[in-house]
Each structure stands twice: as structure tokens, then as C-alpha cells.
Amino acid sequence: MPTTKEDLKKITKLGNSASATRTLETFPNHAPRGLTVHLDCREFTCRCPVTGQPDYATIQIDYVPKKWIVESKSFKLYLETFRDTGVFHEHLAVDIAKDFMTFIQPRSVTVTVNFNIRGGIAISATYQTP
């Protein structure tokens, strides 16, 4: 089934300037059973909450949508809102998963953050909803 104008009713960020608001836009899921979506984000940046130094990571998100699918440009803009935010790596995985639960309301979501080596230690954290 092709994308319809009705599917685009709630899309406001695609084609518009970046917004500092941490929201996720959605469009309808045309396959309410059997669809799993994988997002692979390779250029994530945030800041250490203590030193303010930049941290770099890759983020993988797997979710099983119910009614809604995240619109990818809004997800990109969402990730950009963390650029100047101080956040511990483990908290980031939880925060993203909770935002997915709020905005997308999927059946399940798994978020894995893989931070680059810093001071000889690489940190990876995974948060999974039931």
C-alpha cells in the first residue's frame, strides 16, 4: 500500500528546519503484525555530564510497532537535541527507550548505546522493555 496524504497529516519536521524540541513524529503502521524496525545511528554526540567533554557513540534501536512508526527525519532531529546535553551513557539508553514508549508506543523496544573508547574504556549499555 503506498503512502497516502492521510499518512502524512502528523508529519511537521520533514522538510523544515531543526527544532530543539525533543519529540518524535510518527506515521501509521500499515502492517500491525510481523514488522520489526531496526535503526542504526552511527554519528551520535553528547557531552559528559561532569567534564562537559564530547562523547561519541553508535546507537541501535529495534522496536516492534503497534499503530505508529517513527519518522526518520524527526528521529535524526531528536538525536541532535542531545548534542549539548550532559548525560551518562547508561541513562541515555533508558531515556531513548522511554521516549520511544511515550511517542511511538511500540509493543517492545530495545536500545543499545555503544560509546567510543575514552580513557581506555568503552561503554555499551542496553535497555529493553518487556
Q: Among 41, 48, 62, 99, which one carries the catalytic annotation? A: 48
Q: Using CA atoms, how far apart are residues 7 and 5, in angstroms rounded to an integer? A: 5
Catalytic residue among 55, 62, 95, 99: 55
Instruction: Confirm whether 46 is a catalytic residue.
Output: no
Active site residue 41: no
Look at the alpha carbons of 42, 105, 92, 47 in this order and tell me if their dihedral is positive or negative.
positive
DSSP 8-state class, residue 116: P
Per the CB < 8 A criterion, the answer to whether 109 and 97 are in contact is yes
19-to-48, 55, 79, 97 alpha-carbon distances in Å = 22, 22, 11, 20
Q: Is 21 left (phi over 0), alpha (psi -120 to 50) or beta?
A: beta
Q: What are the residues facing 56 on neighbouring strands? A: 45
As annotated, the active-site residues are 48, 55
